[in-house]
Amino acid sequence: MTPQELSEKARQLVAGGAVLLDVRTPQEFQEGHPEPARNIPVQELPQRIAEVGPPGTPVVVYCAAGGRSAQAAQLLRANGFPDVFDLKSVKNW
């Protein structure tokens, strides 16, 4: 998908009720993020997964470049969140 297609798909999902999850560090998050985003750093996600929502909640996940969001997407899918969309980079929002 092109960055434009990623953006359109992510925005549609979030408008439809998906959680927008930022897995960057709190410092990166404070430097700028989309308004509806929640920040749970990828290294804290295993302990904080309940904060995402009940299993089955649709999730759009992103980081700075795509590495951490891919890790987070895999973790979420393994923990009962089958509907995960990896936006890759916050720049794609």
pLDDT number for residue 86: 98
Which position has the token pair 């408008």? 15
Separation of alpha carbons 35 and 59, rounded Å = 15
Bridge partners of 58? none
pLDDT number for residue 60: 98
What total of structural domains would you count in the chain?
Answer: 1
pLDDT number for residue 54: 96
Question: In this structure, what CATH number is given to the domain that contains residue 37?
Answer: 3.40.250.10
3-class secondary structure, 46: helix
Q: Per the residue annotation, which of 6, 14, 63, 76 is the catalytic one?
A: 63
Q: Is 63 a catalytic residue?
A: yes
Which amino acid is located at 75 in the chain? L
Per-chain mean pLDDT for the chain:
97
Q: Which residues of the chain have pLDDT under 70?
A: none
pLDDT number for residue 25: 98
pTM of this structure: 0.96
3-class secondary structure, 76: helix
